[in-house]
Amino acid sequence: MHYFNQAVETMPREQLRALQLEKLRALLSQLMGRNRFYTKKWKDVGVVPGDIQSFADFSKLPFTYKSELVRAQEEAPPFGTNATFPESAYTRVHQTSGTTGTPLRVVDTPESWEWWGSCWGHVLRGASVTAADRLFLPFSFGPFIGFWATVEGARQIGAMMIPGGGWDSLQRLQMMRDLGATVVCCTPTYALRLAEVARRENFDLRSVPIRALIHAGEPGASVAQTKARIEAAWGAKCFDHAGASEVGAHSFECQLQPGGIHIIESEFIAEVLNPETGKEVPGGEIGELVITNLGRPGFPVVRYRTGDLVRLNLTPCECGRTFARFDGGVLGRSDDMVTIRGVNVYPTAIENVVRQFATVEEFQVTVTMMQEMHHLEVEIEVVSGNDAEHVRAHVEQAIYQALSLRPKVTLAEPGTLARYELKARRFRRLDRTPENRSA
Ligand SMILES: [Zn+2]
């Protein structure tokens, strides 16, 4: 079994919780009086760091919302009041994609960048990456933090990095083959896209020695049918990971793939709460992930509402790690959940059905509100050479069997649905204005 830090990863849970509390208390004292954003926030509710003596006191601390961080940035541009230290202390700046609102800039010091790399070390080690591996990154480096952090993680592990920016998909496949890439880090969507290109170009994917794919940016790699499809196409294992620019790389899948992702609990405190009441959900129920990062004092988040839906599992994993897991990975966004005739529908549930069909190449789900009710339309692109209407009817039937829903399933012309390299947006809601979305 490969660990990044075995002593910490296999620590008894009481010790792990004590470690979290110790780190939390040190962080709170460090921030009070120095970090303008949190100092004001905590003063407003009358909490001082000394009030937090145990996890029972944790809920005295107010939640943090992304919209507040964006506002803090607007108040003191360009980095905002959540930047704890003088600007000269920072050596890295990245920003969120801004597809659902104002981009949020995040800044790191050399120490917190080292911390990002160590979190990615957990992700890579979880997928049993070693110094003998060659990692291929099929991206140009923009301001998105994810793959920069992967590079830092790979550096800490000693693996070779192969940068694959600025090329088309076929050139990337050839590069992976010629340089003997063993691991590729990309979105699940792009892994499928590369497989699609290989098929079209008669490029033998099995000529690439890839043995693991590490995914980020979308939930797909924990969606059973998407995972199965990627693994079958590549003849390799596919690993999920979850994180966010403002939080860190917080969760990863271990080699044993127990059907969920481990939270790096030595570096993060995860709470799973009812999105409406803000109270902890009973064990095993789906709730919103609220996270505190413990290693980024220069740009911290304390009780941050991620908007991600997860299901917590505390049972020990066969891999030996005591870190808790999120069953099924990130299940979707709390604001993407819709209720249709009393049934709660998550984007990943629909994806899991549609991805069973090798004959469906791409899909798009649209939710509209008509007469106060949500309606779902699923557009599919059928692989040419198949009876499209036959596939369409089958998909409709499969969604009904799995979810007791009868959405309208329609056919899109081949090649017309959007293809994505980063952050696929296959789930569209036309029942709300952009301002209503939590960015
Ligand atoms: Zn495990």
DSSP string, 36-51: HHHHHHHHHHT--GGG
264 CA to centre of ligand 1 in angstroms: 11
287 CA to centre of ligand 1 in angstroms: 22
321 CA to centre of ligand 1 in angstroms: 6
231 CA to centre of ligand 1 in angstroms: 19
126 CA to centre of ligand 1 in angstroms: 8
Q: What is the DSSP letter of 317?
A: P
383 CA to centre of ligand 1 in angstroms: 36
pLDDT at 422: 64
28 CA to centre of ligand 1 in angstroms: 30
56 CA to centre of ligand 1 in angstroms: 28
- Per-chain residues with Cβ under 5 A from ion ligand 1: 254, 317, 319, 321
Neighbours of 231 (CB within 10 A): 16
**Cα–Cα distance measured from residue 182 to residue 435, given in angstroms and rounded to the nearest whole number:** 43
**Cα–Cα distance measured from residue 75 to residue 46, given in angstroms and rounded to the nearest whole number:** 23
259 CA to centre of ligand 1 in angstroms: 9
20 CA to centre of ligand 1 in angstroms: 20
pLDDT at 437: 39
- For residue 82, what is the enclosing H or E element? none
pLDDT at 251: 97
254 CA to centre of ligand 1 in angstroms: 5
409 CA to centre of ligand 1 in angstroms: 38
229 CA to centre of ligand 1 in angstroms: 22
pLDDT at 80: 97
pTM comes to 0.85
3 CA to centre of ligand 1 in angstroms: 10
Structure tokens at 394: 């089958």
pLDDT at 99: 62
253 CA to centre of ligand 1 in angstroms: 7
Give the 3-state secondary structure of 247-297.
CEEEEECCCCCCCEEEECCCCEEEEEECCCCCCECCCCCEEEEEEEECCCC
198 CA to centre of ligand 1 in angstroms: 32
Tens-binned pLDDT, residue by residue, of the chain (439 aa): 899 999 999 999 999 999 999 999 999 999 999 999 999 999 999 999 999 999 999 999 999 999 999 999 999 999 999 999 999 999 999 998 766 678 899 999 999 999 999 999 999 999 999 999 999 999 887 888 988 999 999 999 999 999 999 999 999 999 999 999 999 999 898 999 999 999 999 999 999 999 999 998 777 788 888 999 999 999 999 999 999 999 999 999 999 999 999 999 999 999 999 888 899 998 888 899 999 999 999 999 999 999 999 999 999 999 999 999 999 999 888 777 777 776 777 777 888 899 889 999 899 998 887 777 778 899 999 998 999 999 999 999 999 888 888 889 999 998 899 877 666 778 887 765 444 333 3
Neighbours of 414 (CB within 10 A): 13
pLDDT at 14: 97
171 CA to centre of ligand 1 in angstroms: 35
